[in-house]
Structures are given as structure tokens and as C-alpha cells.
A and B are shown apart, each in its own frame.
Chain A
Amino acid sequence: QKEVEQDPGPLSVPEGAIVSLNCTYSNSAFQYFMWYRQYSRKGPELLMYTYSSGNKEDGRFTAQVDKSSKYISLFIRDSQPSDSATYLCAMSERGGSEKLVFGKGTKLTVNP
């Protein structure tokens, strides 16, 4: 079993839809959870960063962490064609550690 599992998709939705992206993990020591967005031929860019369990909202993006279920989610409201990208979840055991464990990414297409 891989440490982090993420459905690769692809996921195709119409503009304005609510998108739900998820990852599960097996390492209970993970405490820091991130979502990165990667456009084609670009490096990943940080979208959301959360510590431990709970919700975090930033504009149209909401990140949720459920440590009891070892499950994290990213919700995108009012999705836009510019949101079309690959979304990667990432986790680490401690802050200040640059050793992140990534999911394989979910490719999202938002159709106008």
C-alpha cells in the first residue's frame, strides 16, 4: 500500500461546478497537509496548507483534513476553465521538513 493514494482521474466538469478532490493516506504520523496545483509544463504551486485536522478556506478553495479517517479533500467552488490543471496532495510528518510525500495527482479539466 502506497503512503498516499490519489485518484488520477481524469476529471472533467462544466464551468461553475463544485469539484471535490481527495486523498487517503496510511501514515498516521502525517500532520501537515498541502494541496499543490500544477499546470502543464510548469512546476507545482502551493494552493492550500493545513496543520492537523479541520477545515481551511481561501476564496473558492476549501481544504478539509480528517485525521481519524486518514482522508483529506480539496473543494473548488464555481470552477473556472483556468482551474484546469493537475492537483497534487502532499503531506509531511513535521513542519520545517521539506520531505513531502505526494499523491500522484488528479488531472482536472473545467469545460467552458
Chain B
Amino acid sequence: KAGVTQTPRYLIKTRGQQVTLSCSPISGHRSVSWYQQTPGQGLQFLFEYFSETQRNKGNFPGRFSGRQFSNSRSEMNVSTLELGDSALYLCASSSGSGANVLTFGAGSRLTVL
């Protein structure tokens, strides 16, 4: 059974640019969540999508957005990049109901110069 796949694994951007990250969940999983991981703040919840609808949202500015497609694949976008956006962005999928057992991908490491 394939795991959660995130692309790209590594990317470098400059301030002011925008970036789009992609996540393919485990087959059959309808929920996709996104987290930001930094050394200073640890893992922080960005948002969760279930059946193409945003179901939960964390405390991040509007520059961070996401969407989910009908096949449950998800993308997140960060616009007007800032140096502080440098982080590991983790996607997790789950069935979306019952126990909140998340399966994480390996992450996309974003460096903003």
C-alpha cells in the first residue's frame, strides 16, 4: 500500500515568490491535513481538507491556502514568501472519521532566501 507522497521534496525560493506543494494521500483516505514544522515552533497545524472542503484551519495568515481535488489529492500554496516561511511542510492523510490517526508524508523542505 503506497504511503503519502509529497512533491517536491526540496525547493528553494526567494522572498516575494509563491510556491505550490502537492500531496497524494493514501488510497481511500479522504482527509488531508497540512502542518508546518520549524525548529522554533515545532509542528503547527495549517489546515485540513475533507471531501474537497476545508474542515479545520489553524492560525496562519491568508498567504497560506490550500485546496483538495475530487481524487483527494491536495495542494497548498504560500504567496509572497517571507524568510520565516522556511520550514518542512508535512502532509498527512486519514480516513477523516473516527479516530484521528494520521499518516504523514516525508515532507517538502522549503528554503526561502
Contact = CB atoms under 8 A, between A and B. Distances in A.
Interface of A: 32, 36, 41-46, 49, 88, 90, 92, 94-105
Contacts, number: 67
B21 interface: no
Interface of B: 4, 31, 33, 35, 41-45, 48, 55-56, 58, 90, 92, 94, 96-107
A1 B58 CA distance: 18
Nearest to A104: B42
> Binding site of A, secondary structure by majority: helix, strand, loop or mixed?
loop
26 contacts: A43-B90, A43-B105, A43-B106, A43-B107, A44-B43, A44-B104, A46-B103, A88-B42, A90-B43, A94-B100, A96-B96, A97-B56, A97-B100, A98-B45, A98-B56, A98-B92, A98-B96, A98-B102, A99-B48, A99-B56, A99-B58, A102-B42, A102-B43, A102-B44, A103-B42, A104-B41
A103 B41 CA distance: 9
A11 B105 CA distance: 26
A99 B96 CA distance: 11
A49 B99 contact: yes
B100 A44 contact: no
Given A43-B92, A44-B43, 6 more contacts: A32-B99, A95-B99, A97-B100, A98-B102, A104-B41, A104-B42
